[in-house]
Chains A and B, each alone.
Chain A
Amino acid sequence: DIQMTQSPSSLSASVGDRVTITCQASQDISNYLNWYQQKPGKAPKLLIYDASNLETGVPSRFSGSGSGTDYTFTISSLQPEDIATYYCQQYDNLPRTFGQGTKLEIK
Chain B
Amino acid sequence: EVQLVESGGGLVEPGGSLRLSCAASGFTFSNAWMSWVRQAPGKGLEWVGRIKSKTDGGTTHYAAPVKGRFTISRDDSKDTLYLQMNSLKTEDTAVYYCTTQWGVVVVGASPDWYFDLWGRGTLVTVSS
Contact = CB atoms under 8 A, between A and B. Distances in A.
Interface of A: 1, 32, 34, 36, 38, 42-46, 49-50, 55-56, 87, 89, 91, 94-101
Which range holds the interface residue count of chain B? Answer: 20 to 34
A55 B104 contact: yes
Interface of B: 35, 37, 44-47, 50, 61-64, 97, 99, 103-104, 106, 110, 112-116, 118-121
9 A-B pairs with the lowest CB-CB distances in the bound complex, closest first = A43-B118, A96-B47, A46-B116, A98-B45, A101-B44, A91-B113, A95-B63, A49-B114, A100-B44
A94 B47 CA distance: 10
A43 B64 CA distance: 23
A44 B46 CA distance: 12
Given A43-B97, A44-B97, A44-B118, 19 more contacts: A32-B113, A36-B45, A43-B120, A44-B37, A45-B118, A46-B104, A46-B114, A46-B116, A49-B114, A49-B116, A55-B103, A87-B44, A89-B115, A95-B61, A96-B50, A98-B44, A98-B45, A98-B46, A101-B45
